Amino acid sequence: MGSAVYRFCEMDNNFASIVAAARKCIKTSRVIGNTSSPRFESFHAPSSICSEKVRCTLFIKGVDFIAYDVDITTQENYQPAYVAMRNLGRGTQSLVGEHAWTGSTSADGMGFDPLVVPTLVDNLKMKVIVDSKKIMNYLDQEIPSPPLYPKVCTDMILKHVKLVDDTPHAGLLYGGDPDNDTRPDFIKQFTDSLVSTQTASLEFWLNDGNLSSELRPLYQAKLKKLIMVKSTLESKPEVLRNSMDLTKQFLAELNADLKLSEGPWICGNTFTMADIVWHVSLLRFLMFGCDYLYKDLPEVRSYMDRILTHPELKAATYTWPGFLPSPYLAPLLQK
């Protein structure tokens, strides 16, 4: 009995010290809600697709949380203390760098990326949860109301969560559509040097003799991934073309399911996790000027008018402090 208690206390102290060190890496944080010491802490970036999904879920659940706005432009998420915390949630998942880069950020298909956002901390259960899809599922289980995976339409919800998870949003960010790049100029300028900036930061930490042997393979895996990203962007435009074809296919499926819906949302009158993930995905297409993707999809266009003006989702995404500006968002911001 005594040894079991000791092991529990040791785990408690280890969790607490690792999370405490990670907090110090992030300059910007604030409490969302009225609880001074909330159960949940969300480490996210203002304009990260996966981060937006998690914030939207927290807002819909009405949960107080501490928001850590990770500055990915200065690679706050590359600091060893943050990586060590994130690694607590990895489990047995394989690392990135072992799969060809498709432009998707799906952890199921691409592996665990130890140097990205979002990361959720549950201080009550002393857990770190990684991967947006897992985080959203976890929040729905821990905070049952309102239910975002109602049993009456679970299959439809899971289908659309997977569609958005598999959508190559990162490919659109890094390389745009090779045949019709409508991204705002500042996004193009930012991403032109993004891979080289990230690589330099990785090499800085890998050359640091103080980087622990436990963390070193995580940085090496990320570097392997970035090498593949660079190779794809420089010499494999067919990968980006395929990603755009896949995106169009997913949007057509959304249009078809909306046509069958007998209400404003994907599951009729029931708002679900499927609507949350499509809010984030459709918002990204809008802010990058990709209206050509859905101009011939009337159900999607009508749905966008509803889902993009949802008050809680709006607060968690394009009106969140630090969200990337885009001239394409101007009409939406005026509504």
pLDDT in tens, 90-149: 999 999 999 899 999 999 999 999 999 999 999 999 999 999 999 999 999 999 999 999
Cα-Cα end-to-end distance for the chain: 61
Provide the pLDDT for residue 12.
55
Mean pLDDT of 227-248: 96
Over residues 33-60, the pLDDT tens digits come to 999 999 999 999 999 999 999 999 999 9
As a whole number of angstroms, the distance between CA 240 and CA 174 comes to: 10
H or E segment and range at residue 121: strand 119-122
Over residues 269-328, the pLDDT tens digits come to 999 999 999 999 999 999 999 999 999 999 999 999 999 999 999 999 999 999 999 999
Mean pLDDT of 199-218: 96
As a whole number of angstroms, the distance between CA 18 and CA 292 comes to: 46
Query: Structure pTM?
Result: 0.95
Print burial letters for 92-129: b (CB count within 10 Å at least 16), e (below 16): eeebbbeeebbbbbbbeebbbbbbbbbbbbbeeeeebb
Closest CA to 176 of 287, 51, 54: 287
Q: Please, are residues 66 and 29 in contact by the beta-carbon 8 Å criterion?
A: yes
